[in-house]
Structure 1
Amino acid sequence: MAARFRVVDTGVRTGRENIALDSAMIEARLAGEIEDTIRFIQFEPCALVGRHQDLAQELNLDACAARGVQTVRRMTGGGAIFMDGGQLGWALVCDKRAFGQVTLADVTEKICTGIAAGLSKLGVDARFRPRNDIEIEGRKVSGTGGFFDGNILIFQGTVILDLDPAAMMAVLNVPQAKLAKRQLADAGARVTSLKAELGTMPSLDRVKQVLIEGLTETLGIDTVDGTLTAHEQELADKAYTEEIGTEEFVTEICDPAREAGVLTGQNAGRNLTAYVRVDGKQDARIREVLFVGDVFVTPPRAVLDLESHLRGSQLADIERKTAEFFESAGASMLGVSAADFSAAVLDAACLPA
């Protein structure tokens, strides 16, 4: 028997309100209060950073303030994105066992393949590109990310309906190294929109329809129309007030290198940065470490737990202790490995990995 998913459209909300609702739906699904759900999401103008990203590094905060673009920190990993009425968000909140025994990489491929199949029904050649993008002719039309919380999965993404490259470039600090790697003059050349590909803007209802069709056909699920429950909204309001909507949460990671005595290092792939303080004899012990980057680690708490685990460790033990942590934590990673975390720390301390 096919798994059944409720389909809800939660309308236009601010970025922080939408992330708070993500939190609420995970909590409600963990408690068994709601069924597996596909959610469609629309945003007021906002710039969202990944759970482990540096706010000041990823966003032009002055431009965000001048343009009335709300800054938001997601619960999922990945890179910074700009959202406005030109994007449609989507999310799955469900029991991961509906997909069998899977890793985060497995889930990413399955769901992105379904989304790509749906978009292709509009007359474009959409395809999944590892690690977590959906592209049309080599240009990104959807970015995705997700994590597991126990047996519950949240996996979400966006579809670019229409693109405002000027606004995107104004608020996002796109690293020049990333642009050079792809030989692009600007970030706008890396992305596309359904309007640009089709020559006309498809209706929201049509886009939602084909996404549902792509997911049901690819994942082998059934869907039924539903509505948000009053309790889900209550949980969202609580999450917004206590965490997601607060400046403390959004600015939790913001220019950590500004403080004296902070050493900075990166992994070989340069998508992970370690900010390290050392002490002890010959500065050979970790006082504290903060990991920042465009990474996907599930559960997200694992990165915070690793930071705590490494405090007080000798630099000579970092590779061993990091490997042991991930072996025992049962964490799943996408685009990063245990060795990347230890390499970033050792690079900060100017030691070979």
Structure 2
Amino acid sequence: MEYMRGLFHRAPADFLLASEEVLTRGVGLGLSPPTVRVNIFDPPAVLVGYNQDVYEEVNVEEAMKLGFSVNRRPSGGGAILMYEDSPGWEIWLPQSLVEGLDIGQIYVELAKIPLIALRYLGIENARLRGKNDIEVGGRKISGTGLYMDSGGIMFCGTVLLDFNTRLMLQLLRLPIEKMSDKDVETFEKRIVTAREILGSKPSVRDVLEAFRRAVGDVLKVEVADGDLNEWELGELQRTVEKYRSSNWIYGYKATDGRTFTKICKYKTAAGLLRIHVKVFENILEQILLTGDFFAYPSTAIHELEANLKWIAVDDVPQKVIEFADRMTIHGLSIYELANLIENCIKD
């Protein structure tokens, strides 16, 4: 592979999401060239993952009132806001390029691209954390995801150029929505933006150029401007209707009663510990640990949270215990922490 097509699209959610599906399929079938794209959702959008229930994840009425569209991604993962300050990026490749690698290894290999792109933006020391987050100094700056279809693979994510925590809390139904101001401030410390690191916000053009250069470096290819081809345009015309349909956007419902949001408070020898959890179909979707305890190193709690996301509830205690050699909470053993988290999830 010597060439990759470069695209930039500023478009509504239905077009951008339909094109994610079409290009993944097209690259796998050999009908689309390998491609890198940067996009802006216009109008802004709230997106849920493929397996989520919109009404459990999104304050739909508030989103509509503020001019956000609501839609569902073809890929999994959690609910996100997509707007000018959080441009999206996608890289489409044939699966043959990652043949023999498991999902974790694919993330590690392909994450080299956004890590280098961030360096081109002037952001040093970014690294992959947990399953799919990219962090700088223990704080998240990007999330990533994978989607596969018909022999094609899409590696995608966002870049937080700037971030409005209050807006996110207004639009998403997260376990932190009932947090105190102090807890919200704690949450904000888990996020970092390009503006905070650099002192100014890079332009979308800067992001586009950084990703094209990074793709060229990692994949040893030349990236050249291109357009959607005739096959892609025809497929898009048909596929976009799915992403405009209420059945696609709102059709998934959780009915087994295992989805809940919960905040558990424990007074321990280490201090007050708050455990915020969201469980979906026996999977720990989100967890935040807050309180006045001391953890060493200070970023270890963030690392633990990232590693606990999207695993089976029954596997959580053992996953916590695996951190025994990687973190210390003064006054609370790792086994006690594992037990408290298990109690919070299962009680």
**Same fold, TM-score > 0.5, yes or no:** yes
Q: State the shift of 1:213 in Å.
A: 2.2
Within 2, Cα distance between the matches of 1:84 and 1:160?
10
Q: State the shift of 1:112 in Å.
A: 1.7
Within 2, Cα distance between the matches of 1:155 and 1:165?
26
- Would the alpha carbon gap of residues 134 and 179 (structure 1) be closer, same or farther in structure 2, given more than 3 Å must change? farther
Within 2, Cα distance between the matches of 1:188 and 1:142?
14
Q: State the shift of 1:165 in Å.
A: 2.6
Deviations 1:90-125 (A, max 9, x none): 111210222342222212122222211221222222
Partner of 1:123: 122
Partner of 1:90: 89
**What amino acid does structure 1 have at the position aligned with 2:280?**
T
- Would the alpha carbon gap of residues 202 and 244 (structure 1) be closer, same or farther in structure 2, given more than 3 Å must change? same
Unmatched 5+ stretches in structure 1? 275-290, 296-333, 341-351
- Would the alpha carbon gap of residues 28 and 100 (structure 1) be closer, same or farther in structure 2, given more than 3 Å must change? closer
Within 1, Cα distance between the matches of 2:12 and 2:186?
27
**What amino acid does structure 2 have at the position aligned with 1:170?**
Q
- Would the alpha carbon gap of residues 21 and 265 (structure 1) be closer, same or farther in structure 2, given more than 3 Å must change? closer
Say yes or no: does 1:165 pair with 2:176.
Answer: no
Partner of 1:54: 53
Unmatched 5+ stretches in structure 2? 261-275, 287-308, 316-345
Partner of 1:273: 280
Partner of 1:26: 24
Task: Determine if contact 1:3/1:98 at 8 Å carries over to the other structure.
Answer: no
Partner of 1:200: 200
Deviations 1:37-63 (A, max 9, x none): 111211121100111112111111121
Q: State the shift of 1:251 in Å.
A: 0.6
Task: Determine if contact 1:52/1:292 at 8 Å carries over to the other structure.
Answer: no
Deviates most, 76-85 or 185-194: 185-194
Q: State the shift of 1:270 in Å.
A: 6.5
**What amino acid does structure 1 have at the position aligned with 2:41?**
F
Q: Secondary structure at the match of 1:253?
A: coil
Say yes or no: does 1:17 pair with 2:11.
Answer: no
Task: Determine if contact 1:47/1:82 at 8 Å carries over to the other structure.
Answer: yes
Within 2, Cα distance between the matches of 1:167 and 1:220?
40
Deviations 1:253-299 (A, max 9, x none): 24x34xxxx44279xx976533xxxxxxxxxxxxxxxx88859xxxx
Partner of 2:325: none
Deviations 1:144-198 (A, max 9, x none): 1112224211111111122233322211112139989xx7546444322212211
User: How many pairs are equivalent?
Assistant: 276
Say yes or no: does 1:143 pair with 2:149.
Answer: no
Within 2, Cα distance between the matches of 1:62 and 1:292?
27
Q: Secondary structure at the match of 2:26?
A: helix
Within 2, Cα distance between the matches of 1:228 and 1:187?
40
| TM-score, structure 1 normalization | 0.69
Task: Determine if contact 1:7/1:39 at 8 Å carries over to the other structure.
Answer: yes
Task: Determine if contact 1:111/1:215 at 8 Å carries over to the other structure.
Answer: no
Q: How does 1:172-211 map to 2 (within 5 A)?
A: 172-176=172-176, 185=185, 187-211=187-211
Within 1, Cα distance between the matches of 2:157 and 2:81?
12
Q: Secondary structure at the match of 2:169?
A: helix
Within 2, Cα distance between the matches of 1:41 and 1:205?
10
- Would the alpha carbon gap of residues 68 and 58 (structure 1) be closer, same or farther in structure 2, given more than 3 Å must change? same
Q: Secondary structure at the match of 1:143?
A: strand
Within 2, Cα distance between the matches of 1:337 and 1:265?
13
Q: How does 1:1-353 map to 2 (within 5 A)?
A: 2-9=1-8, 11-44=9-42, 45-125=44-124, 126-176=126-176, 185=185, 187-241=187-241, 243-254=242-253, 256-257=254-255, 262-264=256-258, 273-274=280-281, 294=285, 335-336=310-311
**What amino acid does structure 2 have at the position aligned with 1:149?**
D
**What amino acid does structure 1 have at the position aligned with 2:86?**
Q
CA RMSD of aligned residues (A): 3.0
Deviates most, 70-79 or 85-94: 85-94
